[in-house]
Amino acid sequence: MKFVSTRNAKLELSGSEAIVKGISDDGGLFVPSSFPKIDSALMQQLLEMSYEERAAKILSMYLDDFSYEELLEYTTRAYSRFDGDPAPVVKIEDGLFMLELWHGPTCAFKDMALTLLPYLLVASKLKLGKKEKTLILVATSGDTGKAALEGFKDVDGTEIIVFYPGTGVSAMQRKQMVTQEGNNVHVAGIVGNFDDAQTSVKKIFNDSEVKEYLASKGVAMSSANSINFGRLAPQIAYYISSYLDLVNSGEIKMGDKVNFVVPTGNFGNILAGYYAERMGLPVNKLIIASNANNILTDFFNTGIYDVNRDFYKTASPSMDILVSSNLERFIFEILGRDSEKVKSLYDSLKATGKFEIDQKLLDDSIFVAGWADEEETKDAINTFFDIDDYIMDTHTAVGASVYNDYSCELEDETPTIIVSTASPYKFAPDVLAAIGGKEKDPFKALSKLQNATALECPENLLFLKDKEEKHTLVIDRTETKQAVYDFINK
């Protein structure tokens, strides 16, 4: 399988090259040159497999410069860091299920890919005979940062720098990052929101002076953000796996269609669902759920993507995003893989903050989009807790709320899987408030939430409170480049 850039379809790379580079020099994202197909024989085979085996099999269809055995070793090691089944499907009501992706080390779905990415990256470098040090540069809306730090800490031949928005992450997310241990980890806050952090980091990736300077030190940059195909590929597996789990439990028959509802920010998670569908997974609708930063809802309903709008801070901070990087991969597909067109749209986005495509293309697509405000998000947490005895986090609740609207409006009775992206304990003060409790302190809120629900609090979050804050630097966004130099020379 070859990989091409969304902005230059003539450029061809292998899977390991795409993973090591992270992003294309032309600013585009790497995408597979075609979608491998899962036929019914393969689905039958996957049915019998463990999660680790399913993931290795699906990865091997894209990353054919790796063997299945090699990939199985990585998935086995990565998912041994999870508490039990890495991606359990929980029944909520008849026809409604939660795919819980937060049983990993940092309690959010980013662990599904970021526990695995370091293995893929180190092995890719070996295959390519690359000896330089890899600098992983991350901009985070909160959860990617911690998951990347946990994944890459003390990994030989790597250094990791995480920039988080100084005013955009929850107290718990901040605490997780500033207490990070490891000899190759660096963390700094940037004054501003996630888009400011992401833009600063993207600039560094495209700065030839930085590249030359790092090269002189034997260092090359790569990305652990969902622009890296190595982030995206492991996410495809859980869409297919959750479907197989429903077949195994007799909830659906092989070939039946299902809906997925995905709380969305950077469009990375739901894009993996789209890839699974393109591979042949029977999907009825992919439902995009946004919070008040509802640029994707507007885009899918009008064809106009316009970032000239207010930015809101919400109780689902990992979705407080206006520029959804991975949308570019979908745009590439829907425009018939015309990389010239994609390039001109994204040039226009850069120049005017806006682009437009034919709305009909979106209407005919498998996607439906909706959004939930803060009140509706809280209501969803409270209602599901009240009626179904199920406690969910604020991001998942955006999905649940959008699903409720969708199913009422369209009377669609297709079995539906809501992708649950974080442990409710990661956002405990807001979750507690939604079910009538009150506690602003995130650590006190943990025990109060545990008392109010039957769900056990993950130890990783309980122990954070007493950990030393090692990384308290906060910088202006004009200082990011200097900060990278300083970290590298430490």
Ligand X SMILES: *Cc1c(COP(=O)(O)O)cnc(C)c1O
Residue that is written with structure tokens 């699974």 in the block? 276
Please, which residue, 143 or 150, has the CB nearer to ligand X? 143
Q: Considering the complex, what minimum distance in angstroms separates the CB of residue 110 from ligand X?
A: 6
Site string for ligand X, 216-245 (x = CB under 6 A): ----------x-------------------
Interaction between residue 103 and ligand X (CB under 6 A): no
Name the one range near ligand X by CB under 6 A: 47-55, 258-266, 366-374, 402-410: 258-266
Site string for ligand X, 368-397 (x = CB under 6 A): ---------------------------x--
The DSSP 8-state label assigned to residue 24 in this structure reads -
Q: Cα dist. 170→177, 263, 376 in Å?
A: 11, 17, 20
Among 52, 53, 100, 143, interactor with ligand X by CB under 6 A:
143
Interaction between residue 174 and ligand X (CB under 6 A): no
Interaction between residue 116 and ligand X (CB under 6 A): no
Q: Considering the complex, what minimum distance in angstroms separates the CB of residue 272 from ligand X?
A: 8
Sheet order of strands, 8-13 included: 8-13, 3-5, 30-32
Name the one range near ligand X by CB under 6 A: 65-73, 259-267, 342-350, 356-364: 259-267
Among 267, 274, 275, 403, interactor with ligand X by CB under 6 A:
267
Sign of the CA dihedral with 63 first, then 74, 115, and 287 last: positive
- For residues 158 and 121, the answer to whether their CB atoms sit within 8 Å is yes
Name the one range near ligand X by CB under 6 A: 1-9, 37-45, 191-199, 257-265: 257-265
Interaction between residue 264 and ligand X (CB under 6 A): yes
- For residues 240 and 233, the answer to whether their CB atoms sit within 8 Å is no
Among 110, 146, 174, 175, interactor with ligand X by CB under 6 A:
110
Among 6, 421, 460, 480, interactor with ligand X by CB under 6 A:
421
Q: How far apart are CA 133 and CA 135, in angstroms?
A: 7
Sheet order of strands, 474-475 included: 219-223, 133-139, 158-165, 185-190, 474-475
Residue that is written with structure tokens 């986090």 in the block? 393
Interaction between residue 105 and ligand X (CB under 6 A): no
Interaction between residue 106 and ligand X (CB under 6 A): no
Helix (H) or strand (E) holding 394: helix 394-410
Interaction between residue 418 and ligand X (CB under 6 A): no
Please give the torsion angle defined by the CA atoms of residues 65, 69, 71 and 77, in that order, rounded to the nearest 10 degrees: -150
Q: How far apart are CA 431 and CA 418, in angstroms?
A: 18
Among 28, 166, 168, 268, interactor with ligand X by CB under 6 A:
268
Give the type of residue at 140.
Answer: T
Active site residue: 110, 285, 378, 426, which one?
A: 110
Q: Considering the complex, what minimum distance in angstroms separates the CB of residue 311 from ligand X?
A: 16
Residues in a beta bridge with 219: 133
Interaction between residue 266 and ligand X (CB under 6 A): yes
The question of whether 444 is a catalytic residue gets the answer no
Q: Considering the complex, what minimum distance in angstroms separates the CB of residue 421 from ligand X?
A: 3
Please, which residue, 246 or 327, has the CB nearer to ligand X? 327
Q: How far apart are CA 264 and CA 300, in angstroms?
A: 13
Among 46, 117, 240, 422, interactor with ligand X by CB under 6 A:
422
Q: How far apart are CA 311 and CA 320, in angstroms?
A: 8
- For residues 393 and 98, the answer to whether their CB atoms sit within 8 Å is no
Please give the torsion angle defined by the CA atoms of residues 387, 392, 396 and 401, in that order, rounded to the nearest 10 degrees: 20
Encoded tokens for 154: 């003390």
Among 16, 269, 401, 407, interactor with ligand X by CB under 6 A:
269
Interaction between residue 263 and ligand X (CB under 6 A): yes
Q: Considering the complex, what minimum distance in angstroms separates the CB of residue 107 from ligand X?
A: 9
Nearest alpha-carbon partner for 369 in 294, 480, 446, 268: 294
| Residues taking part in catalysis | 110
Which positions lie near ligand X, rule CB under 6 A? 108, 110, 143, 226, 263-269, 318-319, 395, 421-422
